[in-house]
């Protein structure tokens, strides 16, 4: 089962959208494997966003992600990364299609509500930054048999 990391960023938390956003992932058929409310420290943010060091938006990105509480999720399911990214929508809310998280709740170029891993390798690295061994749960739900067939991944 593929896993992905999702971060509900400070603007999402401050706007009290946590439940509505998590519900979209669950409605789609993804399973929560881990979840925590936390404040990201600067050192962790720098590790997470290391690939962007030197880019003009990097300082603002670090300031933004550390500016308030976030909710960090590990989601599991068939094609979890692709499914999550489609649910999230385009990076900037004004570009995102209606029906996506950013399309329905965002308009800003700076405050884009949510982060999601972009590839399996990235997801593995990012999940390890936020969840210690033993903090993630693997379990089955009754809905799994109704959301996908085992061989259709």
Residues 6+ apart with CB under 8 A from 17: 8, 105, 113
Question: Is 52 an annotated catalytic residue?
Answer: no
The CA distance from 4 to 85, in Å, is 10
Instruction: Catalytic residue, from 87, 115, 127, 130: name it.
Output: 115
8 and 70 in contact (C-beta within 8 Å)?
yes
Q: Terminal CA-to-CA distance of the chain, rounded, Å?
A: 9
Q: Give the residue numbers marked as catalytic.
A: 115
């Amino acid at each position: 089962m593929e896993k992905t990391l999702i971060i509900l960023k400070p603007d999402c938390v401050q706007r009290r959208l946590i439940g509505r956003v998590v519900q979209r992932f669950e409605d789609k058929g993804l399973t929560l494997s881990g979840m925590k409310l936390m404040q990201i420290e600067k050192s962790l943010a720098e590790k997470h966003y290391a690939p962007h060091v030197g880019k003009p938006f990097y300082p603002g990105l670090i300031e933004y992600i550390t500016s308030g509480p976030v909710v960090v999720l590990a989601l599991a399911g068939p094609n979890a990364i692709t499914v999550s990214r489609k649910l999230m929508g385009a990076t900037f809310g004004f570009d995102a299609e209606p029906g996506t998280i950013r399309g329905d709740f965002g308009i800003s170029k700076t405050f884009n509500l949510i982060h999601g891993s972009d590839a399996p390798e990235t997801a593995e690295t990012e999940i390890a930054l936020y969840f210690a061994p033993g903090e993630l749960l693997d379990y089955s739900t009754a809905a799994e048999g109704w959301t996908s067939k085992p061989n259709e991944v």
